[in-house]
């Protein structure tokens, strides 16, 4: 239900943005194509650490709550660990953020928080239902909101968080040691929205007496030296 609501809101924001007459700016996903290696770069990793990581995905920026915080002049409390996705910006560039499914504590209708773009301080709360109506009717819901920060104690309440969207993927390869000629690695795969908890984990073994060149998920790796405490290696191809 929540994802449908966000989808409908995004369409409404896009329509108003196309018409060019809204006080709200639509926020689109960002692309993230990155890795932690360069081709033919000599790398060294200790046992238990991540050797390689590679991500291809899209994400929306947002915030995660560091500490419980009662928002001044509103009967709304943000809770440690809850997350808020940036869904739009005000005319001066501040962020309108919609909470995740656990952010509401049965408070209905769900609320959006308005966050200062420079300090990440919360300075207002708006009724999300009213926000949707304002977008539909091309009203400026932010008119009359005190743009001064009402409560300096909200500093450091929020920290940046990325919301990855469906179709995103990431792989990590961890070094887990060596036994004789057998190299041991662990492959971790992350899919869609969850880039923090692996959707699949696989323990891998390679016999270095057969070859010191190994392949994992289109990554071709030359093993230069391996002990039970560390490994030296180069990525010679990333399948691109």
Give pLDDT, residue 204: 97
Q: Give me the chain's average pLDDT, please.
A: 80
Show the tokens assigned to 204.
Answer: 């891998």
Give pLDDT, residue 76: 74
Reply yes or no on whether the pLDDT at 149 is more than 60: no
Q: Domain locations in the chain? A: 2-27+60-164, 30-56+166-237
Q: Residue 152 — very low, low, confident or very high, per pLDDT cuts 50/70/90?
A: low
What is the pTM assigned to this prediction?
0.69
Residue, of 101 and 21, whose pLDDT is higher: 101
pLDDT tens per residue across span 94-136? 888 888 755 555 554 467 888 888 888 887 777 776 655 655 6
Give pLDDT, residue 9: 52
Q: Which of 88-92, 101-105, 136-140 is modeled with the greatest confidence?
A: 88-92
Give pLDDT, residue 21: 43
DSSP state string for the chain:
-HHHHHHHHHHHHHHHHHHT--SSEE--PEEEEEES--TT-EEEEETTSEEEEEEEEEEEEEEEESS-EEPTTSS-EE-TT-EEEEEEE-TTSPEEEEE-TTSSTT-SS-EEEEE-TTT--EEEEEEHHHHHHHHHTT--TTTT---S-S-GGGTTSEEEEEEE-TT-EEEEEEEEEEETTEEEEEEEEEETT-SSS-SEEEEEEEETTT-SEEEETTEEEEEEEE-SSEEEEEEEE---
Give pLDDT, residue 197: 87
Q: Residue 13 — very low, low, confident or very high, per pLDDT cuts 50/70/90?
A: very low
In this structure, the number of other CB atoms found within 10 A of the CB of residue 80 comes to: 11
Q: Residue 222 — very low, low, confident or very high, per pLDDT cuts 50/70/90?
A: very high
Mean pLDDT (whole number) for 63-89 = 81
Reply yes or no on whether the pLDDT at 203 is more than 90: yes
């Amino acid at each position: 239900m929540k994802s449908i609501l966000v989808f409908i809101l995004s369409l409404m924001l896009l329509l108003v943005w196309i018409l060019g007459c809204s006080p709200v700016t639509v926020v689109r996903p960002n692309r993230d194509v990155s890795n932690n290696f360069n081709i033919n770069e000599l790398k060294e990793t200790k046992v238990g650490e991540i050797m390689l990581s590679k991500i291809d995905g899209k994400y929306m920026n947002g915030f995660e709550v560091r500490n419980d915080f009662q928002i001044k002049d509103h009967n709304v409390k943000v809770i440690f660990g809850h997350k808020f996705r940036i869904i739009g910006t005000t005319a001066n560039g501040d962020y309108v953020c919609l909470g995740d499914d656990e952010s509401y504590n049965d408070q209905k209708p769900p609320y959006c928080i308005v966050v200062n773009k420079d300090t990440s301080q919360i300075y207002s709360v708006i009724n999300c239902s009213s926000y949707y109506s304002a977008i539909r009717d091309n009203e400026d819901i932010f008119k009359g909101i005190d743009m001064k920060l009402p409560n300096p104690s909200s500093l450091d309440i929020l920290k940046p968080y990325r919301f990855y969207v469906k179709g995103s993927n990431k792989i990590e390869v961890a070094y887990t040691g060596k036994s004789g000629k057998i190299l041991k690695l662990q492959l971790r795969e992350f899919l869609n929205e969850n880039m923090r908890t692996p959707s699949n984990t696989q323990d891998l073994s390679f016999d270095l007496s057969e070859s010191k060149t190994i392949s994992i998920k289109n990554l071709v790796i030359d093993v230069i030296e391996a002990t039970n405490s560390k490994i030296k290696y180069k990525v010679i191809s990333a399948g691109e």
